[in-house]
Amino acid sequence: MTGSRRIAVLISGRGSNLQALIDATAEGRLDAEIALVISNRADAQGLARAREAGIETLTVLVHELQSRSVSLVCLAGFMRLLGATFLDAFPNAILNVHPSLLPAFPGMDAQRQAWEYGTRIAGATVHFVTGELDGGPIVRQAAVPVLDTDSPETLAARILEQEHRIYPEAVAAVLAGGWSLEGRRFRPAGRTRHR
Ligand code: GRF
């Protein structure tokens, strides 16, 4: 990663996590500049949110990102696995938000998977993207209790609130620099290990 604070957000649909990042930058909770929003679908609702915020939009990738000096790529509901070319172009510089406490329930429909399994605690995870599906080092997590009255939809809505909270926090932690990865463990700047 370079020292710039320019980020790109990749979407495929609704774009509510994109909106959380836009709002956090607008309100000063996240010191970053959203340089562009990219969708692999031209009909993604999130593209309208980006245009509304005056952010450049594109429907395609690596060259477009590099030519705009993007240092961190944020997947936000992006529904396509990234290939080796893309991953190699942005080593430890791609984040994703996933609606479960990874490593539990990777893949599609994670909130429903957790509800059907009968887990009492669900949650959300922001992690680095690697070649393994939902498998990279974890930057932030939030736990969400599963209520007896929950349906998969009500649970997903509470998880989404936590996604919107922890994603901007995680982006800020990564952009702050000074962090390291010890194996799979993300160590923010200034944290030393207790022995
Ligand atoms: C979120 O639940 C995210 O965790 C998952 O896809 C969903 C995207 O929602 N990866 P939105 O488009 O950000 O509203």
Please indicate whether residue 164 is annotated as part of the active site: no
Say how far apart CA 62 and CA 88 lie, in whole Å.
10
By DSSP bridging, strand 94-98 and strand 121-128 are antiparallel
76 lines ligand 1 (CB under 6 A): yes
What is the predicted pLDDT for the residue at 31? Answer: 97
Give the Cβ contact number of residue 13 at 10 Å: 17
pLDDT at 17 over 90: yes
Structure confidence by residue, pLDDT tens digits, 85-114 = 788 889 999 999 999 999 999 999 999 999
Read off the pLDDT band of 83 (50, 70, 90): confident
Q: Phi then psi for 26, rounded to 5 degrees?
A: -65, -35
Which helix (H) or strand (E) covers residue 127, if one does? strand 121-128
What is the predicted pLDDT for the residue at 175? Answer: 97
Distance (Å) from CA 172 to ligand 1 centroid:
19
pTM, two decimal places: 0.82
Say how far apart CA 154 and CA 140 lie, in whole Å.
22
